[in-house]
Structures are given as C-alpha cells and as structure tokens.
Amino acid sequence: MTDYIIFDKMNKELVTKPFKNAGEAFLREFYIANYTIDTNVSDIGAEQYLLNPKLFAKRFIVILAQAGKNGETIVTYDASSYLSLINAKNFVTNNADIKEEMEQILNPLELTTDFLADVLHINAFITSKDATERIKNHLKHPFDNFKGAFYYGADIRIDGHSNIELDRFFDTIKLKRVKFSREFNPSGYELLRYAPEIAFKMAGSILLDAFDNGADFLIISDTRIFYLMDRKRKEIESAMGREIPIYLLTLPQVALMAVGVTDKKTLGLNAHKIKPTLLK
C-alpha cells in the first residue's frame, strides 16, 4: 500500500509550477512512493479558516478520513494547503459537536473521524535526516558561492521548518544561511485585494531585509507569497522606492539543483517572472 498521497489542488490563479513541478520531481528523484488524490476539492486559502472553520471541516473531512482509514499520510506542496488540512483536522478533533456532525457525512461512506490522516508539507521530506544524507551522497552542485535566506511567514506550524532541520539542510548543500529579522513577518498577501499599497510595503520590507543582509535568494513555501513577491515585484519596488534584485526559490527546487537537476521546466523555473540566475 502506498504510504503517501499528494494533495496538489492549489489555486490555479496563483503560480503553482515552482511548487508542483519541483515537488513531483523531488518525489521521483528520491523514489518516494505516492499517488495524487482524485478529488475536485481544492485549497481555498488557509487565511479563510477563521472566517468559516466549519466550511473547512466539511471541505476536507472526506479526504482526511479516507486517507486515515488507509493508513496514508497526505503530502502538500505549499503551506496554505497544508494549513487548510491541518486546521480542518484540528477543528473536528477538538470540537465534539462538530465531530458528531462530520460523522453524519462520513458514516454512509463507511468512514469515521476517529482516524484522520496525518498531513505533511513536502519540506518535511527534504529536511529529514534521510533526505539530507542522500543529498549529501549525491551532491553535484553545492551552493558554496551563494547565500540564501528562508522565509517562515507569520505561521510556522509547518513540519520541516525548524531551525535545526533547516540548518542541517543548508549545511548539507554548502549554502550559507542568512538570517534576518523579518523571517516571521506577515507577507501582506491577505491585504493585497483590499489595501495593495500596504501589502506591497509589507512584502517589500521582507525582501529588502533579506537582500540587505546579503541573501542572493529567498526560499518560500507558499504559492500566495510567491505570487505577491514574484508577480507583483514592480509594484513592490515602486512602493519601496528602490530596486530589489533578489529572487525566489522553493525548497524542492534548491534540493533538486543541488543533486544535479537542471531542466528549467522540471524545476518550474520557467514560471518565474524574476528569473533565478543559478542556471544559465
């Protein structure tokens, strides 16, 4: 039985290739058995959870229960999908009335809330001891000429994002890690529709903080943040009054490049507006 099922239903209005393409390639490269969930349910944004947690519960409960029944773990490629599933699971588990209501949905399907699947962000694979050891043994393109920063965002409840795990990964690929004061600041994406100038300044302060501390690139974990910081870079630079020559990467992209993967479509680099300069 396959241990991992992939939830890859990210918002198509955003930029998903740097996450989906590179995530799929990482799983292939490291021979991690998986299959994609056949469902029309998609991520609607973890930021919406507080507005209607019951909607989240109903949206994801069948997926969580089916995978839990099969003893499988759900893997997501971006942080919003991860948090959506985790928030839905915790909301059901911690609320008896909601749990009973969800049972009415699940019982006809021979499922139960007693066994809801574990959920992992793909970063948890990449920063695990097993993966870093394999990367070390197959390292072809060390990053010893580069400096990289990691952006957590305002919510750090994501597996694979601890400083110890990240430091181990950075050391393995010989990438100097730049730490900066705005690693945990909100990205501004939630305000993009309602107060774009504020959103641009929030994102710009993060990018500039990383850049001014010497980072060549910023590693991010969410499609929404990528959309804001990549697609809206001109607007961000205008709001900040200066050019910000730093590009974005995902952790799967960095891991794959370290072991010698250079195809830009495979890596999802062809979807970047701000083109990374690691590969010519």
Q: Is the separation of the CB atoms in 29 and 261 below 8 Å?
A: yes
CATH code of the domain covering residue 18: 1.20.1050.140
Query: 125 is written with which tokens?
Result: 């694979």
Last residue of a domain, which of 96, 123, 150? Answer: 123
Q: Are 162 and 79 in the same domain?
A: no
Domain that holds residue 36: 4-123
Q: Identity (one letter) of the amino acid at 97?
A: D
In a domain, 180, yes or no: yes
Q: Is the pLDDT of residue 280 over 70?
A: no
Residue 23, CB-side half-sphere exposure with 13 Å CA sphere: 28
In a domain, 134, yes or no: no
Please give the pLDDT value at position 1. Answer: 47
| Dihedral sign, Cα of residue 136, residue 140, residue 146, residue 152 | negative
Last residue of a domain, which of 70, 95, 123? Answer: 123
Q: Identity (one letter) of the amino acid at 201?
A: K
pLDDT (tens digit, 9 = 90+) per residue, 245-268? Answer: 999 999 999 999 999 999 999 999
> Rounded to whole angstroms, how far apart are CA atoms 88 and 103?
14
- pTM for the whole thing? 0.93
- 187 to each of 71, 74, 201, 217, how far by Cα in Å? 35, 26, 9, 16
- What is the number of structural domains in the chain? 2
Please give the pLDDT value at position 157. Answer: 67
